[in-house]
């Protein structure tokens, strides 16, 4: 699964004010850099636009993932293994928070689990050229931010069941610190977007 994902938060109101034919170019340049830039290799964490540009976007590079989606996929797998050992209120909050972020909820939405995501990913009728992995409009981001508020204070309580029950994890997420860090990074992305009433976009690269 050699898939990479570039994550942006974007001012949706600004994008809607731009002619539809120009929006994809703006998003692509924010995610991948200008066409004349040979190596758009940004450091981990947040990258904000030059102050001389319109401040309508920010790009987030997850730590220790090399932009690969594999880490997000394996975080979803770890949670799928862990969720049976977590009390219902926190388990449901993590379910709902992580569902649209890890494979659009398909990890958990099986016939046997009885899980139904409360926050669905969006589509965009003008983004026909973009290879979209994640598209969350501001109202969805707000809902995820409320869920993050339920998860964040109790995330460390998952350490004990993780260490006890996930004795031979495989893939990119093999211990609780790596799992917790990735979930917390998503919490930061969602929080930064919700604070501004912005959208979240993930593009395949």
Q: What tokens appear for 94 in the block?
A: 């993590």
Tens of pLDDT, residue by residue over 94-110, are 999 999 998 665 555 55
pTM listed for this prediction: 0.91
> Along the chain (205 residues), what's the average pLDDT of each consecutive run of 10 residues?
85 94 92 67 83 87 87 91 93 93 64 74 88 94 98 97 89 91 97 98 91
Owner of token pair 């994008």: 15
DSSP assignment of 151-178, as one string? Answer: HGGGGGGGHHHHHHH-SS--SS--SHHH
CA distance 3 to 69: 6
Kindly state the greatest CA–CA separation across the chain.
Answer: 54
């Amino acid at each position: 699964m050699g898939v990479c994902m570039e994550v942006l938060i974007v001012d949706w109101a600004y994008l809607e004010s731009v002619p539809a034919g120009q929006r994809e170019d703006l998003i692509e340049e924010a995610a991948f850099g200008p066409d004349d830039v040979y190596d758009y290799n940004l450091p981990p964490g947040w990258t904000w636009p030059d102050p001389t540009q319109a401040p309508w976007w920010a790009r987030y590079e997850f730590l220790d993932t090399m932009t690969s989606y594999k880490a997000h996929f394996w975080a979803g797998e770890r949670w799928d293994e862990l969720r049976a050992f977590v009390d219902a209120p926190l388990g449901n909050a993590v379910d709902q928070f992580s569902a649209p972020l890890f494979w659009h909820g398909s990890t958990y939405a099986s016939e046997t689990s009885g899980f139904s995501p409360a926050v669905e990913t969006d589509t965009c009728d003008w983004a026909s050229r973009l290879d979209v992995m994640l598209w969350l409009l501001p109202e969805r981001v707000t809902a995820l931010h409320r869920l993050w508020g339920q998860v964040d204070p109790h995330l460390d309580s998952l350490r004990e069941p993780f260490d006890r029950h996930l004795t031979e994890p495989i893939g990119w997420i093999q211990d609780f610190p790596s799992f917790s860090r990735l979930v917390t990074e998503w919490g930061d992305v969602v929080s930064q977007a919700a604070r501004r009433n912005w959208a979240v976009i993930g593009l395949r690269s």
